[in-house]
Structure 1
Amino acid sequence: MIYIGVTGWGDHDSLYAAGTSPRDKLKEYGGHFPIVEVDASFYAIQPKRNADKWVKDTPESFQFIVKAYQGMTGHQRGDIPFESKKEMFDAFRLSLEPFQKANKLAMVLFQFPPWYDCKRENVDYLRWCKQQMGDIPVALEFRHQSWFSPQLQDQTLLFMKQEGWIHSICDEPQAGSGSIPTVLYPTNQKKTLVRFHGRNVHGWTKPSEGNWRDVRYLYKYNKKELEEWVDRIHQIRKESESIYVLFNNNSGGDAADNAKQFINMLGIEYRDLAPRQLDFFS
């Protein structure tokens, strides 16, 4: 099965009727896509009441990809509001329980920062992370090119396969050491994640100052670029049962439109989405 969606549900204006309350957007989102990435969990470990609401607001078959908290992936600078890494991981796992009980947790995404390079202490930390997450499906996305250098790529992929990590395959700008190539190699027979970040090299390399999100993911995929990925998705499906595709190119509001375009190009029709509200004046 191929599941297609976008990252977050609050900023995709093309999906919602004018005046839609932020509290109701996820309900509406579930009428368009079968999966979503939860980004709020990256900035703070979410209280269970939030996850309970999100579970109730979505169809029975809906799936969430929950992004790991920034303190777990080394993004957070300064003090972390936990006495230990173990306590932090315990709190994060507890926050996932509503998704798990509803059978709506597709995976947790560990996305590591551009400065997280391939060295022994980082490999050891990845092993520790996997142990802490137990049997929860976990995806791994790198941002430092060293993991996929010619001399280390095979070892990286073998490590991910042996440790049980789901490979997060990326389409992103090729902008030096702070980006990774597209490596079409599933490391998990059941699940593979594909994330479209756009190809805006200028935005990708812009220093992380001010509202950098306004430019980093400013990109609209054209038909030819998506057609290339139709073949790639079919290739990946030969080795992985379910493919989860997320469009993250939303600085200009293009993610939802590109996701719908890609669904049509793949000839997919999702039959168990939420009912959509009718807007007779659109």
Structure 2
Amino acid sequence: MYARQFALVEVDNSFYAIPTPESVQRWVDDTPDDFGFVVKAFQGMTGHDRDAGRRAIGKLLTGEAVPSGDALGELTEEQEATMFAAFRSAFEPMERAGKLRAFLFQYPPWFDCTRDNVATLRRAKALMGDAPVALEFRHQSWFAPEYRAKTLAFMEREGWMHSVCDEPQAGLGSVPTVPEPTHPDRTIVRFHGRNIGGWHSSGSPDWRAVRYLYDYNDEELREWVGLLEAMLKRTSAIDVVFNNNSGGHGAGNAKRLMAMLGQSRGEPPPEQISLF
């Protein structure tokens, strides 16, 4: 049903665990030929959860699950490379089928613009080889006035696609909308909602439901029609993802933006639209 309405999906569960190639093959087999996937990088690869990375390596090396909290020490460069290789290997069926649009590296809010973190990005890009990779920041410093042009130039030089964000402007842990492509092949735009009051709710049990609870109005969506058309002059394709899904608004917002852009991909039965 979903693939009859939309030509793209973002894979989020890969952030929490590296899937098996068999699972990825099923996703490939169950979707049309023109369907595409944006795949989030595993959290151990982006520094969100170093313990998760150590557990993943432990399982890869021993074949057994490693309990959370077990003291495994810091990953060596060799172990880190093993983790990246295992992640990419899992998605080989998707790459072979031509359905992988990009691996999305979304770095955490504390990943600020420093020399060490620039080196981290270079190493991640090297470890991913020739795979298509997109980069999304969550710390405002990367697009501070004195660094914005340098950040974009770095991304272009290193071969990173830009994942452009529409999100609340809520201090250092958010980034401004910078509609600038950095790769000729593809750009990603992710709509996170504009719920400024809920953006810093990560301490609450239902923080995901609160943070992404937002319904874009037509005026807010129309702002993006011109931006997307302008960006297409500098990049061949743009993948748009609505991440404001906790209230069930993402699919409806996506359909409305598609209509504004003159796009269509089937009409769902009325009772089904609330599922997405």
Relative to the length of structure 1, the TM-score reads 0.85
SS in 2 for 1:108: strand
The question of whether the paired residues in 1 share the 8 Å contact of 2:44 and 2:51 is answered with no
Counterpart of 1:217 (choices 212, 217, 220) is 212
How far, CA to CA, are the matches of 2:263 and 2:268 in structure 1? 18
Specify whether residues 254 and 278 from structure 1 end up closer, same or farther in structure 2 by C-alpha distance, changes over 3 A only. closer
1:1-282 correspondence runs (5 A): 28-78=1-51, 80-81=54-55, 82=57, 84-270=79-265
Q: Distance in 2 between matches of 1:34 and 1:47?
A: 23
Q: Shift of the alpha carbon at 1:209?
A: 3.4
Percent identity of equivalent pairs: 53
How far apart, CA to CA, are the structure 2 residues paired with 1:123 and 1:39? 25
Shift of 1:87: 1.2
Change (3 A) 1:254 1:91: same
Deviation at 1:64, TM superposition (A): 0.6
* One-letter amino acid matched to 2:139: H
RMSD between superposed Cα atoms in Å: 1.9
1:5-34 per-position Cα deviation (integer Å, ceiling 9, x unaligned): xxxxxxxxxxxxxxxxxxxxxxx2111100
Q: CA deviation at 1:211?
A: 2.1
Q: Residue 264 of structure 2: SS of its match in structure 1?
A: coil
Shift of 1:276: 7.2
State how far apart, in whole Å, the 2-side matches of 1:209 and 1:138 are.
32
Instruction: Please list every run of 5 or more consecutive structure 2 residues that lacks an aligned counterpart in the other structure.
Output: 59-78
Distance 1:109 1:88 in 2: 16
Q: Which has the higher contact order (CA 8 A, sep 6+)?
A: 1
SS across alignment from 1:232: helix
Q: How many residues align?
A: 251
Give, as a single letter, the amino acid of the residue that structure 2 aligns with 1:158: A
Q: Is contact 2:202-2:208 (8 Å) kept?
A: no
For residue 139 of structure 1, give the secondary structure of its aligned residue in structure 2. Answer: strand
Shift of 1:251: 1.3
Runs of at least 5 residues in structure 1 that lack an aligned partner in the other structure: 1-27
1:208 shift after superposition: 3.4
Q: Following the alignment from structure 1 to structure 2, what is the Cα–Cα distance between the partners of residues 64 and 199?
A: 25
The whole-number CA distance in structure 1 between the counterparts of 2:25 and 2:222 is 38
